[in-house]
Amino acid sequence: MIKKITSSQNPFVKSLIQLKDKSRTRKNTGMFLIEGKRELSLAIRGGYKIKTLLFNPDLFSEAEALSFQHYQINIIEITSEVFQKIAHRGTTEGVLAIAEIKPHTLDTIEFKTDSPLILVAEAPEKPGNIGALLRTADAAAVDAVIITNPKTDLYNPNIVRSSVGCLFTNQIATGTTQEVISFLQKHQVSIFCAALQTSELYTDQDFTQSCAIIVGTEDEGLSDDWLQHSTKNIVIPMQGEIDSMNVSVAAGILIFEAKRQRNFK
C-alpha cells in the first residue's frame, strides 16, 4: 500500500516546507529536496541516496512512482494542494524527492586524468549564477568545480533549479580561498585568474596542462590572495563600454577555450 497525505497541515508536510526554505534545516538534517523528473534522474545517476519520493497522481502516474521501488525508496502519494505547498517551482512535473546531502570537502575530489581542468568561483552570491556555472561546467565536462567562501548552501532550491540538475552531475567542493589555493598547489595545478590587473589575453595561454580557471564576482572581482598566487592573470578583451560581463558567461568563454586547446577531450 502506498501511503497518502491529503492535508497541507500534516506535520511531515510542514517539515518538508522547512527543508525547502531553510538552509539551517538542510544542514541540521543532512537532507534536501529534489524537484522534477530530470533532476531526480540525474541525482540517482550521480550517486545520491534518495530516501522518499512524493508524487501527485494528477501529474505523475502511480506506475511511474512504483518504478522507483527497486531503489528502496519510500513512496508517498500527495494531493495537488499538498504538492503546491511543497513545490518550489510554479510549473513542475508532479514529483519531489527527499535526498541525503553529499559531503563537498576538498578531499572528496578525485582526478581521473593527469591534466585536470578545474573551474573555481570565489564567493558567488546569486544562486542563479551558481546554477549557470554548474551548467557550464557540465557542458564542458570539467574535472571539478570548487566554490570558495560560499555565500549560500549548494542545496538552495534556486541552485538546484537553475542548474537544471547539473548540481548532481559535477564533482563539487567548497573551501576557503586559502584552503583551495593550497589544494591546487599541492596537486601542481596552474592558477589562471580572470582579472584586469597585469593581465594577458586568454587566447595566448596554454591550458593543456593541469590548470584551474578562477573567476570572481562581477562587482569585486578576485581577492588579493588569488592575485598573489596566480600563475597568470588572464583577460577577455571587452569591445563595448563596460569592462566586465556575467561571471557564468566569462567562465564559459574561458573554459571552452581550454577545451578547444585540449581538442574537446
CA triple 20-153-248, angle to 5 deg? 110
Written as nine digits, the cell of 82 is 499538498
Q: What is the mean pLDDT of residues 243-265?
A: 94
Class of residue 244 by CB neighbours under 10 A (exposed 0-12, middle 13-18, buried 19+): middle
Share of the chain above pLDDT 90, in %: 90
Q: What is the pLDDT of residue 79?
A: 96
Q: What is the pLDDT of residue 35?
A: 95
pLDDT of residue 168 exceeding 90, the answer is: yes
- pTM, two decimals, is 0.94
- Span 61-118, pLDDT tens digits: 999 999 998 888 999 999 999 999 999 886 779 999 999 999 999 999 999 999 999 9
Among the listed residues 109, 100, 5, 113, the one whose alpha carbon sits nearest the alpha carbon of residue 43: 100
Q: What is the pLDDT of residue 90?
A: 67
Contact between residue 57 and residue 77 where contact means Cβ atoms under 8 Å apart: yes
Q: Select the more confidently predicted residue: 220 or 200.
A: 200
Contact between residue 164 and residue 38 where contact means Cβ atoms under 8 Å apart: yes
Please give the Cα distance from 32 to 179 (Å, whole number). 26
Task: Classify residue 217 by its DSSP letter.
Answer: B
- Span 232-252, pLDDT tens digits: 999 999 889 887 789 999 999
For 140-160, the DSSP string reads HT-SEEEEES-SS-TT-HHHH
Written as nine digits, the cell of 202 is 586568454
